Structure 1
Amino acid sequence: MTPRTELGPSAVSTWLAAVLDGAPAVFDLGRPLYRGMPQSPNHPPYWHTLPRRHGDAVRADGGSAAADHISLGTHVGTHIDAFSHVSHEGRLLGGVDAQETQRGGSMRELGAETIEPMFRRGVLFDVPAVLGADCCDPGYEITPDDLERCERRHGARLGAGEVALIRSGWGARFDSPDPRDFIGHDSGVPGVGEAGARWLADRGAHAVGADTIAFECLPPGRGHALLPAHRVLLVESGVHIIETMDLEGLAAAGAHEFLFVLAPLKLVGATGSPVRPLAVVAGGGR
C-alpha cells in the first residue's frame, strides 16, 4: 500500500474559496510545549533551558540576547507519525524491511521528511456529542457506528483524501494538575479501535487525528501494550496519525468541516515530527 494521493487542484480550490468567503476563523489545534507536560512514557520528555541569558554577553551599545536549547521525543506534544514509526512482523508500509532501513541509527525510508504538508478538507467527528456526554468513558472504544452517527448528526461526510479528526473529550484533561489524568494508564483512554481504523482507511482518509495520547483505545491498566489501529493505519493503509490535539475550541464552535493545514518539520530519518495544525473555518464556525 502506498501513501494516499493528493487532492486535485479543483478540490483544493473549491474548499479554499469556501473558507475564505466570510471572515474565516482559524483554530489552533496544537498543544503548548512545556516542561512536565503529559506525554507517553515511551518517549523522551520535553525539556527547555536558556544556555545563554540576557547579560551573559553585552554588546558595546548595551544590547544583549538570550537563546534557548530544547529537546524532546518526536512523539511528544502534538505530533504526526511518519510511516517508519510502526512495523508489523518486521515490515513497514509497502513491505519495507524495518531492520534494514533503520541501520545507522536513522530511517533511510519513510522518515518524517517524506511527510508532505497538508492543505485539505477536514472533518470533525465529535463522538461525545452523539453519545450525549461531555467526554467518552475511560477505555471506551470508538466504533464505525459511532463515526457514522457523527456524520449523520453533523452533516459532514468524510471523503477520500481528507483528514478525520476524532474528538473524545479526553483532551480536557491535558491541563490537569496531575499529568497521569491525561495519560490514563490505570483508567484507560477512549479512542478508535481496530474496526474504526479500518473504517477510516476504507473511506480513504489521508490522515487521522485525535485529542488523546495514542489516538486509539487504551483499555484500563494496559497502556500501549497493543496498538492495532496503528498497524491498520500506518503499516497496512498508509494513513498518517496525529496525536495530542486540542479539539475543544473547534467542537465548541460547531465546526465539523474546515480547511486543514499542517506542515511537519523536515526531520530527516525521524519517525515523527512535532506539528502545529490549524483548522480554517468559513464564517467562524456555526
Structure 2
Amino acid sequence: MVIHRATAGMPRLTAAEFDALYKRLASATSWAKGERGSLVALTPGRVAAAARDVRPGRTVTLAAPVETSPGPDNPEPATHTMRNPPKQHADTGLHFARDSFAMNVHGDTDSHLDALCHVIYDGTLRGSVPASSVTPDGATTLSVEAAADGIVGRGVLLDIPRLRGVPWLEPGDHVTADDLGAAEASQRVRISEGDLLFVRVGHRKRRTAMGPWRTAEARAGLHPTALEFLAERRVAVLGSDGNNDTAPSSTEGVDFPVHVLAIHAMGLHLLDYLQFEDLVPVCEAERRWSFLCVIAPLRLPGATGSPVNPIAIV
C-alpha cells in the first residue's frame, strides 16, 4: 500500500481564490436546481440499480448514538427525559412509558443532515434565495422537507486513514482531491453521478481512543478545493464522520468554506458527524466499498436539518 503523507500544511485560500472557486463550482453544478438541489441526481433508475447491487443484505448503521452528556465538543447535549414514568409497583392495568427529546441539531457530536436553508452567505441561501425566507417560524423554502421522501442511492465510502496507513487524520489535516482519487484506486471503486459520497477521516475512532476535545477549534476535514472532484463526478450527497470542514479554516474570512461551497454554491446536502467504524470491517470483508444507502430525515417543516440514522445495506 502506498502511504500518502498528511496535508495539514496545505496553503490557505485568499478571499479572491475562494470567490473564484465558488463561481466555478456554482457554474459546474447549475444542473442541481430547485429545492432538492443535487438530490435530483437520485433518479429512480439509479435507486433501482443500487438496490440490485445488494448481496448478503447486511444492514449497518452510519449514525453515532445520540449523546446526552456535556463535553468539550458537546456544550449543548441532547436531553432525554421520561414523561410520567409508570410507578414501579403499578402491576395492574395499562400504563405507557413515554419520552421527550430535545437537541441542538447542528452540534459537533450527533449525526445530522444539513438542509439547503442551513447556510446563509452574503445575504442569500442557495440559488440567490433571500435570507429573509428563514423566519422565526422556520424556513419557507429549501428546508429538510425537500428530502421528505427519503434519500436513497448508491453509497460509496472512501477511507482516507486507510489510504495513508494511519488510524485517523489529526485535527487540522485536510483531505484533498488527490486523496479522493487515490482512495478510489486503492479501494477499486469509482464515484459516479448520483452517488452518496462518504469520506472517513477517523474522527470517531480518535474521539473514542483519546476522548473528546474542542472540535470547533481543531478537526480534520476536506480542503475546499476537493469540492471540484465532487462537482466533476456530480455526487448527490456528501457525508463525513467529522463535519466535512477542517478547523482551523483554510480560507480567509470564511470559517466553514466546505459548507458554503457544498450547500450554497452546489446545492449539496451534507451529513455531519456520522460514524463508519461499524461499516469499515464489513466493506473489508466483502472487498467492496459501495452499498445501498437509505437516509430518512424527520419530517420537520421549515427545519434547517434533522437528526438521521443512515443505513448502509451491503
Fold match, TM over 0.5? yes
* 4+ aligned runs moved over 6 Å, structure 1: none
Distance 2:211 2:155 in 1: 32
Residues 1:227 and 2:259 are matched in the alignment: no
8 Å CA contact 1:39–1:45 kept in 2: the answer is no
From 98, 119, 122, the counterpart of 1:67: 98
Q: Deviations over 1:35-81 (max 9, x none)?
A: 1166856x84301111211118959x433322111101222411000
Cα distance in 1 between the residues matched to 2:177 and 2:120: 24
In structure 1, distance between residues paired with 2:124 and 2:50: 36
User: Shift of residue 225 of structure 1?
Assistant: 6.6
Of residues 301, 305, 310 in structure 2, which corresponds to 1:268? 301
Q: 1:121 aligns with which of 134, 146, 154?
A: 154
What letter matches 1:245 in structure 2?
L
Partner of 2:42: 7
1:239 is aligned to: 268
Q: How far apart, in 1, do the equivalents of 2:50 and 2:216 lie?
A: 40
Q: Whole-Å Cα distance in 1 between the matches of residues 155 and 172 of structure 2?
A: 25
Which stretches in structure 1 are left out of the alignment for 5+ residues?
A: 282-286
1:210, CA displacement in angstroms?
0.5
Superposed CA RMSD: 2.5
Query: Which is further off, 272-281 or 5-14?
Result: 5-14
Superposition pairs of residues 41-120 of structure 1, within 5 angstroms: 44-55=76-87, 61-76=92-107, 77-98=110-131, 100-116=132-148, 117-120=150-153
Q: How does 1:30-45 map to 2 (within 5 A)?
A: 30-36=63-69, 44-45=76-77
Q: Which amino acid in 1 is paired with 2:264? A: V
Per-residue deviation, 1:262: 0.3
Shift of 1:174: 4.0
1:67–1:142 Cα change, 3 Å: same
Aligned amino acid, residue 240 of structure 2: A
**The residue matched to 1:152 in structure 2 has which SS?**
helix
Partner of 1:143: 176
Q: 1:262 to 1:65 in 2, by over 3 A?
A: same
Give the whole-Å Cα distance in 1 for the aligned partners of 2:145 and 2:44: 23
Note closer, same or farther for the CA distance 1:145–1:156 as it changes in structure 2 (3 Å cut): same
Superposition deviation, residue 138 in structure 1: 1.9
1:177 CA drift (Å): 7.7
Matching residue within 233, 249, 259 for 2:278: 249
For structure 2, list consecutive stretches of 5 or more residues without a partner in the other structure. Answer: 1-29
Alignment of structure 1 residues 122-201 onto 2, 5 Å: 122-175=155-208, 178-180=211-213, 183-185=214-216, 188-201=218-231
* Distance (whole Å) between structure 2 residues aligned to residue 177 and residue 155 of structure 1: 31
Aligned length: 270
